[in-house]
Amino acid sequence: MLVEKYKPKCIEDIVGHRESILKISKWLRSWKRGGKALLLHGPTGTGKTALVHALAAQRGEDLIEMNASDYRSARQIAENIGSSIAQQSLMKRGKIFLIDEIDGLSGNADRGGVAEVIKIIGESAYPIVLTANEPHGQKLRTLRKCCVSVELKRLPDADVERYLAKIAAKEKIPIEPKALAEIARLSNGDVRAALNDLESLACGRKIKAEDTADLGARERSSNVYDALARIFNASSTEEARAALEKADVDADEMFWWIEGNVLAEFVRPDEVAAVFETLSRADMFRRRNESCMVDVMLSGIVAAAHAKRRQLAKPSYKYPQYIAMLAMARFARKADDELLEILSPQLHCSVAKARTEFLPYLKIFEARSFA
């Protein structure tokens, strides 16, 4: 897909935001241990996360991504985020920590959560980037004082149009200038949505202005929280599938979002049991046949949703713990592999032997050195 093929790999690949990028680069160059975090804020679709990914890739540093809404209390934040951010690695490899949706900290369960994040910023051995859609609420007032705030605004139509023209030329997609301008306008500053629209209309013939007529009525790609709410409250399997198709995550990742938020939507034990039974059946198809997995998962959820007792308050969805654990494990394995490649020739043994006989002791030394 074009959105994956042209995913930014360095800062130069980012469309627009030149002034914001200069501010971010200045912050990163001057950052020292315990310095202020970066608070990137702006509407969904402005490229906050993509910018941080491109920045880390350009600097050759690891990006460790977390979601604030997955760690709701001060204790959870300290145990899961604080320990990994405060320690230098044995490899001395550069890292950037990205904590998404910091504005998701709310309610009694988060008492002390903001204070703990502030403490982590002051002790961090690595630069920390926080993202938020709406950072100006009262609950983040003290946190803002510990951050350098940079706003990402929606891109002007002209910037999106120029970018689309460049991609269309590279991909040899014939398109009328008026059609190009209309796709850019309808994207509302969202480059990802614009690329998806361009690809959907490219069918071997020249794209004309009238071909864009249906785009205005079609809903923009929705974030995972909106898609999750629509799936859990869909009145038909078709409606649930439409919500999934518009989500900004794939079906496999949505499986874990649903699994991790069942208890936020369903109240009675029989409802919860029915949904988990559906997910267990869907999981049997997850690695074999994605279409069957989606059909089983969505049809079961819709059936359960018809009979469920509605909650009085709007559910608060959380980032799936399983995905967070996989991300942390992936980065840990990568760091271990790099260390073992250096150690094995020094120790005159294979990488496998270094992993089993030496690495466990080095982990103990590292933990004690930074305790």
- Residues 21-77: pLDDT tens digits? 888 888 888 888 878 888 888 877 777 888 888 888 888 877 877 776 665 566 666
User: Does the structure show a pLDDT above 70 at 121?
Assistant: yes
Where do the structural domains in the chain lie, given as residue ranges? 2-151, 157-215, 224-307, 321-369
- Taking the alpha carbons of 338, 342, 345, 346 in that order, is the dihedral positive or negative? negative
Contacts 24+ apart (CB under 8 A), 212-218: 212/179, 212/182, 212/183, 212/186, 215/182, 215/183, 215/186, 216/186
What confidence category does residue 370 fall into, taking pLDDT thresholds of 50, 70 and 90? Answer: very low
Per-residue pLDDT at 113? 73
pLDDT of residue 72: 56
**pLDDT for 305 beyond 60:** yes
Greater pLDDT, 294 or 106: 294
Instruction: Write down the pLDDT at residue 217.
Output: 47
pLDDT exceeds cutoff 80 at 257:
yes
As given in the structure block, the two tokens for residue 62 are 């690891």
Q: Which residues pair with 149 in a beta bridge?
A: 39
d(CA 8, CA 206): 27
One-letter identity of residue 249: V
pLDDT at 265 (0 to 100): 82
pLDDT top residue among 285 and 368: 285
Architecture of domain 2-151: 3-Layer(aba) Sandwich (3.40)
Q: Report the C-alpha dihedral over residues 25, 27, 28, 29, rounded to 10 degrees.
A: 80
Q: Among candidates 242, 203, 213, 247, which has minimal Cα distance to 228?
A: 247
Q: Which residue type sits at 199?
A: E
Which CA distances in Å does 317 have to 81, 240, 260, 306? Answer: 20, 17, 8, 20
pLDDT at 128 over 50: yes
d(CA 159, CA 161): 5
230 pLDDT band (50/70/90 cuts)? confident
What pLDDT score was predicted for residue 116?
78
79, HSE (Cβ side, Cα atoms, 13 Å):
7
Contact call for residues 298 and 245 (beta carbons, < 8 A): no
More confident residue, 290 or 329: 290
Residues 116 and 82: their CA atoms lie apart, in Å, by: 8
Residue 216 has pLDDT above 70, yes or no: no
- 365 vs 17, more confident: 17
Residues 6+ apart with CB under 8 A from 281: 296, 300
Under CATH, which number does the domain 157-215 receive? 1.10.8.60
What sign for the dihedral angle of Cα 82, 315, 52, 27? negative
Nearest-angstrom CA–CA distance, 171 and 176: 15
With bands split at pLDDT 50, 70 and 90, how would you rate the model's confidence at 107? very low
30-34, 110-114, 282-286, 317-321, range with the lowest pLDDT? 110-114
What pLDDT, on the 0 to 100 scale, is given for residue 109? 46
Q: How many residues does the chain have?
A: 371
Task: Tell me the mean pLDDT in the region 134-138.
Answer: 71
Predicted local confidence at residue 189, as pLDDT: 77
Q: What is the pLDDT of residue 151?
A: 85
The band of 169, judged by pLDDT with boundaries at 50, 70 and 90, is confident
Q: Which two tokens stand for residue 29?
A: 């160059």
pLDDT at 110: 47
For the CA atoms of 194, 200, 205, 211, what is the dihedral angle to 10 degrees? -70
244-248, 295-299, 350-354 — which is least confidently predicted?
244-248
Q: Is the pLDDT of residue 181 over 80?
A: yes
The whole-chain average pLDDT of the chain stands at 77
